[in-house]
Amino acid sequence: MGAVLRAAWLIAAKDVAIEWRTKTAFASGLVFAVLVLAVLFFSRDPTVVSSHDIAPGALWVTFTFAAMLGLNRAFLLEGELRGLDGILLSPAPRSAIFWGKFGGNLAFVGLIEAISILLFVPFYDVPIWLRFGELLLVIAMTTVAFVAVGTLLSAMVVRTRYAELMLPLLLLPFLVPPLVGGVQLTAGLLDGRPLSALSGWLKLIGAFDVAFVTLAALLFQVVLDE
């Protein structure tokens, strides 16, 4: 257990260091976030659609698509000079590779989300500060859901020729439960509804997290084998 955590931490830290140095995925994620937020804001008729109504959807579209730009990167960097083989040759437990990649991806997506929220506030006049703690919980739970599945799927598609196309194709159906839940919860919270009234969605995302993080961790070993 300790060995897994230690190795996972080393791998995640390495990934973060590499991304920090190159900043490629981060930059494209950020540009994308700004683009989506701006387009959704300006493309509506302000007299018909208030920014308040469109806000939850805009936020989550931004989060997921920017995240997808980053998910493939985690395994692409392993392919350049086959660093992953170096890890496989070490005594690091193989499950640590999943947890390390998962952790690194969460850090990456988390940072993009944090910056997106900061950009979000001036555009969409929404009082997120009032329910900030609860919103953070919702965002965290939903992010865990699609990053877990995304990490597993990106490990699979990275070796195919059409990785950028295959990842969204395969990931999309898995996004439906957490994303719908995330948007509903965000909208509900911003509308001032208490979390207890939205417990159904919260439980759905919670169950999804448990099921799919476990499943992804277990199935990852299968994907690693050549």
Partner 1 sequence: MPPSDPVIIATALSRRFAYRPVLVDVSLEVRRGEALLLVGPNGAGKTTLLRVLAGLLRPTAGHVERRAPIGMVGHEPMLYPALTARENLRFFARLHGVDTARVAELLEQVDLAHRAHDRIGTFSRGMLQRMAIARALVHEPALLLFDEPLSGLDAAASRALVALLAELRDRGTAMILVSHQLEMLRGVGTHIVRMAAGRLGTVDPLQGRDPVALFTALMREAS
Partner 2 sequence: MRDRALRLAGVGRGITVLALLGLAGVYVRALKYTPLELSQGAAQKIFYVHVPAAWAALLSISVCGLLSVLYLWLKDRRIDLAAAASAEVGVAFGVVMLTTGPLWGKPIWGTWWTWDARLTSTLFLFLLFVGYIVLRGVLTDPGVRGRFSAVIGIMGLVLVPFIHLTVYLFRTLHPAPIVLKPSAPSLPSAMLATLLSSVGVFTLFYVGFVMQRYALGLLRELREEELAGAAR
| Whole-number Å distance between alpha carbons of 87 and 77 | 13
Least separation in angstroms between CB 152 and partner 2: 7
CB of 191 to partner 2, least distance (A): 12
Using CB distances below 5 to 8 A depending on partner kind, what does residue 200 bind out of partner 1, partner 2, none? Answer: partner 2
Q: How far is the CB of 210 from partner 2 (least distance, A)?
A: 11
Distance CA(19)–CA(11), nearest Å, equals 12
191 binds, among partner 2, partner 1, none (CB under 5 to 8 A by kind): none
Residue 170 binds: one of partner 2, partner 1, none (C-beta under 5 to 8 A by kind): partner 2
Contact yes or no for 121/76 (Cβ under 8 A): no
**Closer Cβ to partner 1, 89 or 197, answer by number:** 89
Which of partner 1, partner 2, none binds 16 (CB below 5-8 Å, type-dependent)? none
Residues engaged in binding partner 1 (CB under 8 A):
7, 10, 14, 17-18, 21-22, 77, 80-92, 225-226
Cβ neighbours of residue 119 closer than 8 Å, sequence gap 6 or more: 33, 34, 37
Q: How far is the CB of 96 from partner 1 (least distance, A)?
A: 9
Whole-angstrom distance, CA of residue 6 vs CA of residue 209? 23
Contact in structure between 186 and 59 (CB atoms under 8 Å): yes
Residues that bind partner 2 (CB under 8 A): 149, 152, 156-157, 160-162, 166, 169-170, 172-174, 176-177, 180-181, 184, 200-201, 204, 207-208, 211-212, 215, 219, 222-223, 225-226
Q: HSE on the CB side for 167, CA within 13 Å?
A: 28
CA distance 191 to 180: 16
Please list, residue by residue across 53-72, b when 16 or more beta carbons sit within 10 angstroms of its beta carbon and e when fewer do.
Answer: ebbbebbbbbbbebbbbbbb
**For residues 101 and 116, which CB has a smaller minimum distance to partner 2 in the complex?**
101
Q: Which does 77 bind (CB under 5 to 8 A by kind): partner 2, partner 1, none?
A: partner 1
